[in-house]
């Protein structure tokens, strides 16, 4: 039995010295690329930028999804619109007073808008505008750095969002981000998000070769969940 899921590799965790090789291999295998935008204020790390979106565009037509971890979300929304990033996801914790204007701006540009919920943030935070969202991302680790402790309790939000979507007829997709790997594949699959963000522990760090890492990831997913991998591509 197979289950359709979408995979979104986190490019923050890839081997940058193998950038072109890894992107070229993944282009026909993944549904989107997950691009972390960190400003050093919302979280203490600084990572990728809208410029990085432009670089990936040179060798890929796979949709790109920006996950902003920034304090001045409207500023970064404008930057990401300028580079035509397919999905722009803002941190719900700093969206009070600007959420509707950011969503409208993103949609006016013909792009998709999403909101991200950090582990301590409840679904109630996004309820005023949830009907306008194309995606809701649930963080299952603290934001800012890869490799942090997996927070299993956050998976309840995925179940709640799925139930809410069915009850209200919302159209957002549900994404989970954080420590998607052999240890957690089964419990994540049980929560049943639409999109899995995969990083170093689940893909890029499995072996020294992206093709071997991809094969190992699929084997681990299928052996852990009992489902055959199917991402619709």
Q: Is 224 annotated as a binding residue?
A: no
Catalytic residues: 36, 177
Axis crossing angle, helix 50-57 with helix 73-82, rounded to the nearest 10: 20
Q: Is 67 annotated as a binding residue?
A: yes
Q: Where are the alpha helices (DSSP H) in 83-226?
A: 99-108, 155-168, 185-191, 210-225
Q: Is 144 annotated as a binding residue?
A: yes
Q: Is 34 annotated as a binding residue?
A: yes
Q: Is 104 annotated as a binding residue?
A: no
Element (H, E) at 81: helix 73-82
Do residues 37 and 12 touch, judged by C-beta distance below 8 A?
no
Element (H, E) at 228: strand 228-230
Q: Is 92 annotated as a binding residue?
A: no
Q: Is 108 annotated as a binding residue?
A: no
The contacts found for 217-224 with CB under 8 angstroms, 24 or more apart, are 220/181, 220/182, 220/185, 221/185, 221/189, 224/182, 224/185, 224/186, 224/189
Q: Is 199 annotated as a binding residue?
A: no
| Closest to 139 (Cα-Cα) out of 147, 129, 131, 150 | 150
Q: Is 122 annotated as a binding residue?
A: no
CA–centroid distance for 163 within its chain: 20
Task: For the beta carbon of residue 216, count every other beta carbon within 10 angstroms.
Answer: 16
Q: Is 17 annotated as a binding residue?
A: no
**Residues placed in the known binding site for substrate:** 67, 144-147, 177-179
**Residues placed in the known binding site:** 34, 36, 67, 144-147, 177-179
């Amino acid at each position: 039995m197979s289950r359709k899921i979408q995979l979104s590799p986190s490019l923050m965790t890839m081997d940058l010295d193998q950038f072109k090789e890894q992107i070229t291999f993944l282009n026909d295998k993944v549904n989107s690329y997950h691009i972390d935008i960190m400003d050093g204020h919302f979280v203490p790390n600084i990572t990728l930028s809208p410029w990085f979106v432009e670089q990936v565009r040179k060798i890929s037509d796979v949709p790109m999804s920006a996950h902003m971890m920034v304090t001045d979300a409207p500023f970064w929304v404008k930057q990401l619109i300028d580079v035509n990033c397919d999905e722009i996801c803002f941190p719900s914790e700093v969206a009070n007073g600007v959420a509707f204007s950011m969503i409208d701006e993103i949609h006016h540009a013909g792009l998709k808008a999403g909101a991200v919920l950090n582990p301590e943030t409840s679904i109630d935070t996004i309820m005023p505008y949830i009907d306008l969202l194309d995606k809701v991302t649930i963080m299952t680790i603290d934001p800012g750095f890869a490799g942090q402790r997996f927070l299993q309790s956050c998976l309840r939000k995925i179940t709640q969002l799925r139930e809410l979507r069915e009850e209200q007829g919302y159209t957002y997709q549900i994404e989970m981000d954080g420590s998607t790997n052999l240890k957690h594949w089964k419990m994540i699959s049980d929560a049943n998000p639409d999109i899995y963000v995969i990083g170093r522990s689940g893909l890029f760090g499995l072996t020294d070769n992206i093709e071997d890492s991809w094969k190992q990831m699929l084997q681990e997913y299928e052996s852990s969940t009992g489902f055959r991998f199917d991402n619709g591509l």
